[in-house]
Structure 1
Amino acid sequence: MVLSLSSLSDPRVSTPGGSMATARVLLVEDERIIALDIKNSLERLGYEVPGIADDYESAVKLALDLMPDLVLMDIILNGDSDGIEAAREIKKRLGCPVIYLTANADQPTIERARETEPHGYLNKPINTRDLFTNIDSALYRHRVETLLRESEVNFRTLSESAPVAIMIYQCDRWVYANLAAEQISGYGREELLGMNFWNLVHPEHRELVTERGKARQRGEEAPSEYRFQIQRKNGEMRWVDFKAVNVTYAKEPAVMIYGIDITGTMAAEEALRKSEEKYRSLVESAAESVAIFQDNTIKFVNGALLKASGFSADDLLGKPFLEVIHPEDRQRVVDNHLRRLSGEDIPPRYDFRILDKKGNTLWVDMKISMVEWDGKPGVLAFLADVTRTKEAEIRLTRLNEEMEAVNEELRATIEELEASNEEFEAVNDELNMTNELLRRSEEKYRLLAESAGDMIFTHDLDGAITFINGAGLAFTGFKPEEVLGKHYAEFITPERAAPLLEKQRKRKEGYTGGSRYESEFINSAGKPVAVEVNSNPIMKDGKITGILSIAREIQKEKQGAQVPFPSRPPSQPPNSPFRK
């Protein structure tokens, strides 16, 4: 007779959710029976279990070899190092989420575990629903944390390379400042982060800036772009062009500001208003690019503009200014220029693209004002190269779009999980009913095996003994811990062991027939005892998973009344509790 272990377990049970079916879970548990039970539960839920470890060394090695998505870690492990140390090393090297398994733990152990920032705890015995809920929550949380870390790294990389000051204030204090902010203010980053945001503002403008800043923090309407003076650390006054936007920083409302040093621009504008002759030399030496347009023609360019564009003065003077503007932006610039000349109120500042002498595209931020040049109206333009800033904005926009797509995917996943909850409840009820039937069946088989007068034992395909009944222990004189896990050949005389090892080899190759033979067992006193053994394979899902044997002492059988020796052992339910 072939024994089947699948009568109460169906591996084809549908798995809740979709992506979870591909998640790889490394199991670290030093108790073999519990490990196998948890592994079976994980596989029924649709997770892949690529390996099982039982101590620190094997846990770390398997994690590095298998690269799991999540680790289920028993706190108590074999060896000198426990699961907390293993989790700390795995998170340090891989950063994957860890859920602790524990039957009981004292307060110091809990405190040590908390320091490793686990993604959850599961108390033994493990409940299937709790197992699913904790793993699903841990994988979701880990994915969101990873995306947020990547987003923060991208923001800081772009911010630190930006040529404009970028600062964030929250609850009246600076909480972030980039390198350009240090350069404009003259303060070090640590000094800035200890200041109120209005401490940088010149006293003449401090009340206005503070009032607008506080209003913005309260969610009220406030101008987002204006100019004011700041006071540098050395007392020097600088003009800044300021822009503010509301953001979320560290999960709390905040305000991010962009600041451009326009001191030279302001000085140039003031000088131009006083005298054309005086401001000509000033704008020639200004760090900002300056140009004057008149009748759609370039009339003046300073050295900074020539350096930035690669053109010479002869290349530009007298040429139509549209020739240096990017073709896609020309119509917009012309429309704004004509509307301004007709008296419409057009914003004095906007950005567009120009082409340098090599044909490369540059983004410029242009601030203009009307002036008189050679007795005729003209346009004075201050041009700031904002190519890196615009590229950073484009990359940030793309990043936000990607983040939004990820959020949509996460929301869809949550909806799918919620939709599958009822299905999971039904599956869980079915599993609970199956477990109850299994428990009742196991009680019957326990009573049968333990009350049998013959020796009954089982071993796996490697020969390790996984179960022995009371009659077997009484017959051999050994204790359970002296037998379980040992190879059966250790308890058989050498001349009898060789043919049995050959039978074991054939079993591993797929032989499913039974066998009846005589052998000699060695009892605890070291004496051989002649026995007759009837062995049959234990089957699960069409495969041999172990051997069940019934043995009887031959001498006692011959001396006493002849008792029929069972030709077939009783079938055994799956996951029998009296196997190791």
Structure 2
Amino acid sequence: MNEDKTQKQPINDLSILQREIAKLRKSEIEQKETIETLKRSEEFFRSIIQHASDIIIVVNKTGEITYVSPSIEYLLGYKPEMLIGRSAYDYIAKVDIPRAIYDFGRAVLTNNIVISNSFGVKHSDGSIRILEGVGKSLFDNPAVKGFVMNVHDITERRRTEKELTSYRKHLEDLVYERTYELANINTQLRVQLSERKQAEEALRESEERYRGIIENVLDVYYRTDKDGKIIMISPSGLTLLGYDSNAELTGKSISAALYFDPHEREKILSILQEKGSVKDFEATLKHKDGTPIPVTTSSRYYYDDRGNILGVEGIFHDITERKKIELVLKNSEEKYRNLVNNINQGIFVAQDNMLKFVNPQSIEIFDQTEHDLTTKPFIEFIHPDDRSMVLDRHIRRLRGEIFPTKYEFRIITAGGNTRWVEIDSVMTQWGGKQAALGFVSDITDRKRVEAALRESEEKFRNLAEKSIVGIYLIQDGVFKYVNSKQAEICEYRIEEMIDKIMVKDAVFPEDWPLVEKNMKQRISGEQAFVQYAFRVFTKNRKVKYTEVYSSRITYQGKPAIIGAMLDITERKKMEEALLESEEKYRILLEESSDPIFSFTPEGEYKYVNRAFADGVGKPVEDIIGKRIWDVFSREEADKRFASLSEVFRTGEEKTIEVRVPRTDGDRYYVTTITPIKDKMGVVVSAICSSKDITRRKQAEEALKESEALIKSYLENAPDGIYHNDLQGKFLYGNHKSEEIIGYSREEMIGRTFQELNILPGQSLKKTMKMLQDSREGKSTGPDEIELIGKDGRRIPIEINTSVVQHKDKKIVLGFVRDITERKKLEEQLHRAEKMEALGTLAGGVAHDLNNVLGVLVGYSELILRKTTESSSLRKYAENIIQSSLKGSAIIQDLLTLARRGVNVSEVVNLNKLVADYLEAPELEKLKTYHPGVKICTELEDGLFNIKGSPIHLSKTIMNLVSNAAEAISGEGSVTIKTENRYVDQPICGYDKMPAGDYTILIVSDTGSGISSGDIGKIFEPFYTKKVMGKSGTGLGLAVVWGTVKDHEGYIDVKSEEGKGSSFSLYFPATREVSAKVDKRVIPVSYTGKGESILVVDDRKEQRELAINMLNSLGYKVESADNGEKAVEYIKNKKADLIVLDMIMDPGIDGLETYKRVLEISPGQKAIIVSGFSETDRVQKAQEIGAGEFVRKPYVLAKIGQAIRKELDRK
């Protein structure tokens, strides 16, 4: 058995060698054919350029001409060799040199940019010719290394356009002049009859003069009588309409003779009857041969001396060229619309958190209606887990931040399904505002494949360890993984190789350059996969021949190489023996890798090689003897047989391009059909050879898609670009510049910024300094200044300038960016940071004051419990409590400002809070201070409830009404209004508010109002315009702002000086109903029964107060001044309940203390106390078993009730 395998091994190796030789032969043939194809391609393109009518010119980065096509001699009179090496600027008209320098500068700076323009160019005879062309920057193209332009002569077109405009204006002036003079003549006839003959002579001379003019103008002048019959028509009209003389038209109906559609003449007469004249009415005349001629006409009635209508006269203006241009523009627009609507990728425009445009593919990807996509915030279509990330990237992009534009996230379809998408976006303009242009692809299937790949990694590891070939992973030149077979080949143990052996040390020194080169190509991505052979050095310094198959992967975020290694030492020995008998196998070199086959005249295959069979995906034996229709579809077979029949008929060779449909993708071939003739010259068969051009076809398609994409990018300029001279006079401005400032470029060019009056004071000074720097040749920016738009708006911009010098002239290039949105975002950020800092300070102060007031309130209550009603100390204690409670209210304001003192979980009705306030003593006190102020209410029935804190909301109502009353000097009114409202689109007030159901509280007054300078500061803490010492702390509106924010609400402020102010507070509505039950608590219900209590607090005065209060309620009380001591206490003793302070410094806080206590005493009861309101850590403590939360200062009833409730809980 072993001998049989040994005998078969050389045969198998021989087969492998045959296939390798065939591959070498194929590679050699393909290389020769590629060289020949390139030669033919070069000759083809050289012939096109040599005979093109347009001029093709190439210039290098210094502006020197490096190539010019022969057509230059026909158009400009220069021989090409006269221009090579000369500066292109030597031949450009002086007036156009600045524009040429500017465009060429853009081309040098930006590779692959496409620029179109027109310039005056000097002819060899000294005249100026107007050339128009398109150029592309190809400096990075090693074959070109220059700026390539394709230009053609438009001198005659420009001259015709200029003459046409001049003649038209001249004719209008003449008609007006003639009308004016005729009116004067009529007046003279009525007044001076004696001068009639003289006037008639003047009139005849005038008519002769005008007749000469009319006969030579380009526009058509005509006149008809009142019946519409032609009286006369100018010579230009005869030429336009194809007539030889007026006699052919005179007396004929103008409607029938000249109008392609007589109804158009009726429309003109209808307008004349209504208005007396017609201007620029579009109509269609007909040529003598019936051809339609598009024109515009301006016509009017003309009258006799008594004012009777004699007929109609007017002008026809030929608009044939304009119509052609309009048609071209329409077709271009349709082409791009079809491209966007039929492209395989979703395209959308996002602006202001909405999708402003979506193409059909986007609708299909999102599986939403176009109406839903464009009328709802786009965040609604994004998976909840991805919304914050997507919104953050969108906002940062609008700010102009630079970061990767391509990323992945999930969307939710209309059916509730989740899809993965990949988005790639750039910034653009939409409706004059910054927007994001996005390209979206559905990658759900790809994600599934990636998941499957991850699952397969484990399978790979299992297979690798059992593989009969060596498998390795290389990174940074070191083996990061080897399987047991790989270690065996290199004669190491696995642990001796991984992370220890350098690849170089395991390779035979003479082969290392080859291995190193291939590794670098893998890592760089130059080649995705490679197969080659080299020798290795084993641990025992043996030399072995190996063959590897390797490719590039990413491993732990870095490029790496994974490969398989075969030990081919024995095979190499066999190959060396076989090479000695190479002559025996020379026939193998005759095999071709290209498809080769032959036909009979009936379309039957006489022969096919393996390459052809592989190409069509069928075995050779299933093709030979079959007809072409048995192998291909009817349509494909008919096309091929038609070409084959032509060869059999003509006897001449023919080359065709064919498509071969396959399940794994169509393939394309160039096939040459060569006739085979017998001795009589009759074609008896045909042999065909094909070349696979699939990759070339795919590359062509990819190139088309790339060009379309680049063109779409180039059509959007994100910044304004302009240039001016050193005196500040504008010489150029792009479309974006027009959008930013509001002036058209025609209004800007030729005027300075002072003349346009577009710079306010400080910006003018800064701009003058920038202009002075430019005169000194310095670049400036980025600088921020303000512009005054044409509509009067102040527009903040960021500006950069640089100076370009040509000969003795300097030009300033400027780049401007509208940063209005960025400024708004910066202002919002500044406001939020300031409020956060002040809130942190206020929170700390409130915490400390709570501890102080807690002692006062607690001990005052203890004094009241231990004194009789008649005791003189009782009144002092009550006063201390009242003062402390007022201090507590101020602390509550501070906590509200700190955004750390509000629990908004209670269902509240604003109407109830307003009604309670109207009966409160605070309002009565306010009325005594402001007797002339009338309080009015407009409360909506059925007002929606909201979820919030009644205490803070009541305080908000009180602060708003108090501020409103104090804004009124003398008599006036304050109105408190509530209403339900559904906001169906975002509203921008003091801050942005999304759509939804809202309960609105409006407090308005007829007071002095708020100035525009103060309105932006009213919500800042401690900001007040009131007289010091007369009212308030400056926290009123800051507390209002904090309360509204804690309730996830929004504020809208409107004010007008001298008329009053209105504060509208929007709170999200809830459909929940209040379940609160008012219960009175009597002291006996929360007294103790001798239970043991452990008080844990870092403040000594707080511990002592709690001990005294709880002792008075009948509890046994112990204390600890930090969390660590509390834990030690529980280890040694038992406590029925722990009173646990949440914030303790230093040491562990209340949550960590409770966690450690539960490890010692599971189920330990506790209540939480703090100077702040509930936090996340309080809630976490409650989740693991803690009872109620009690906010300091300690009030006997509150803490007693909380302890009793927790102790009684089962």
Tell me if both proteins adopt one fold, taking TM over 0.5 as the criterion: no
Task: Give the TM-score range, shorter chain.
Answer: 0.3 to 0.5
Q: TM-score normalized by structure 1?
A: 0.37
Q: TM-score normalized by structure 2?
A: 0.19
Higher RCO (Cα < 8 Å, 6 or more apart): 1
